[in-house]
Structure 1
């Protein structure tokens, strides 16, 4: 039992760290090699979707196709693929392209606060004092992160802030919308179809063969890292960890992602992170921790 728990913790920490690292690798592709957000988004979704569905087919067989014959299944999976999977991938990469991986990842982690507010409104119940305080702390943390404590200017571009917050809303939809699908069909099938649908849809806007960027050995390695380690392996490890430890603990441990993205961005790109930005980061991570604990207690 103890060994299984340790394995679960190791899996989620590795998976979340790979997500954070892949964001910084994507920043390298955008800002130093000239690749576009659109191309990296479409190629990541298409390749990862095919791989995940292939793995699901090996284990689940024809169940992979049965989701399309279920009542409301097809429409739900299409909505998830376009408004969930595609939206969260594109907005996240756009936030990196216009800013950096550190702030993009931290802003995306406002999603737990957004989800909490939405559920309180939907079920018409006042949130607890702890939740209200957590949301206020998250807002203060966001303010410090994007302004550096200076009311007169932003420490990152306005577009980076816009796409980062849009990514948080997209992640909220991505988290809440497919709950019934996940219960019926499992994560590999749902996420695999979501990625493939998102990739195929976005191909009409930006075909995968329209590549922009400088192809070198390092850029090839970076693209492969984002697809293999930052998408397929990271997702698989994260998913596998839920078989060993509670999902609430998994979401709490996944907060290592913004930390890994921040530290690597500072070391690699020398992103200026002053005292105000660090305080903002800590406040947002504190919100994640608090909301995860509150959710766990209510179980």
Structure 2
């Protein structure tokens, strides 16, 4: 009898995928606060966004040029798609998010971007029907969004503080992030993870060169210390976590990955409590429990459980 083909999303691999997303979120949880501090010095959203992707690309390109040159090989027909995800996914998401962080509040930026799981789940579940939209996933989605709101607001009302361009960038961050997850998932069916990352970062960096060319950057007279800060931020805010996110997309449905990323605001608050000594309320803890419950729910497979139960009862 021929061996049955096993879908990676139905094997033990999803556990690894969920772990990748959670670790990525741990890195992201501290990034927004660090970025806010950077914006209060001599950095702005443009240079931070540009250097995150550009420096990440240079590090990956140098590493693979020295160790594994076949990683650069890609079918020409895939180049336009990689350019699209690099510009409209990576670059647009990062800039719109950090612009909102700089000119509004971290809470506003995080809360609005975390509506992306709804867009991903609805689009893939009802429009393209690439994924199933189960009751379990719907409950997890509600728990995650509700928990995110409680974690960010503490249960009170939230003044979004949206003025000027942040009225656009806050919601653009959500749409672009949803697009990035969906489009990345499709490309990763044929493109290796590291090749995907290198080209996505590369096209994002190339795009920013047209917006903020080298001579404009040189005119800012950044010191070696400034470049060290930008390099450090690039590694810990995008290179490591985005590598984990993309690896998770290889193993999980895009909607599941999106829902797990709603852990970010609660972890950010938890780190602030542990490291800085900031207060954390009961409502925020409840929000965190709700998000964690959503993540646990996503790992349940009721159909497989019922199938096993029927098999046992039949004997």
TM-score, scaled to structure 1 = 0.72
1:262 aligns with 2:269: yes
What's the counterpart of residue 234 of structure 2?
Answer: 227
What's the counterpart of residue 86 of structure 2?
Answer: 81
Structure 1 stretch 260-269 or stretch 40-49: which is displaced more?
A: 260-269
Counterpart-to-counterpart distance in 2, 1:10 and 1:197: 28
Q: Name the SS of the counterpart of 1:196 in structure 2.
A: helix
1:39 aligns with 2:47: yes
Q: Name the SS of the counterpart of 2:37 in structure 1.
A: helix
1:55 to 60, 63, 68: 63
Structure 1 stretch 76-85 or stretch 213-222: which is displaced more?
A: 213-222
Counterpart-to-counterpart distance in 2, 1:181 and 1:204: 25
Give the CA deviation at 1:139: 5.5
Q: Name the SS of the counterpart of 2:202 in structure 1.
A: helix
1:19 to 2, 20, 28: 28
2:162 to 155, 158, 165: 158
What's the counterpart of residue 205 of structure 1?
Answer: 211
2:200 to 174, 194, 212: 194
Counterpart-to-counterpart distance in 1, 2:58 and 2:236: 15
Counterpart-to-counterpart distance in 1, 2:302 and 2:60: 29
The number of residues matched between the two structures is 286
CA contact (8 A) 1:137 1:287 kept: yes
Q: Deviations over 1:227-286 (max 9, x none)?
A: 12222233445567889xx547x9477655433323345678898876666655655565
Counterpart-to-counterpart distance in 2, 1:135 and 1:181: 25
Q: Structure 1: which 5+ runs fail to align? A: none
CA contact (8 A) 1:14 1:237 kept: yes
Counterpart-to-counterpart distance in 2, 1:53 and 1:9: 27
Counterpart-to-counterpart distance in 1, 2:145 and 2:264: 20
Counterpart-to-counterpart distance in 1, 2:60 and 2:36: 25
Q: Name the SS of the counterpart of 2:117 in structure 1.
A: helix
Give the CA deviation at 1:133: 3.9
Is the alpha carbon distance of 1:284 and 1:7 closer, same or farther for their aligned partners in structure 2, counting shifts above 3 Å? closer
Counterpart-to-counterpart distance in 1, 2:116 and 2:174: 5
Is the alpha carbon distance of 1:292 and 1:116 closer, same or farther for their aligned partners in structure 2, counting shifts above 3 Å? farther
1:90 to 95, 106, 118: 95
1:183 aligns with 2:189: yes
Counterpart-to-counterpart distance in 1, 2:26 and 2:147: 22
CA contact (8 A) 1:35 1:213 kept: no
Give the CA deviation at 1:26: 0.9
What's the counterpart of residue 136 of structure 2?
Answer: 130
Give the CA deviation at 1:175: 1.1
Give the CA deviation at 1:96: 1.7
CA contact (8 A) 2:193 2:247 kept: no
1:29 aligns with 2:38: yes
Radius of gyration: which is bigger?
Answer: 2
Give the CA deviation at 1:38: 1.0
RMSD of the alignment, in Å? 4.4
Q: Which has the higher contact order (CA 8 A, sep 6+)?
A: 1
2:120 to 115, 123, 132: 115
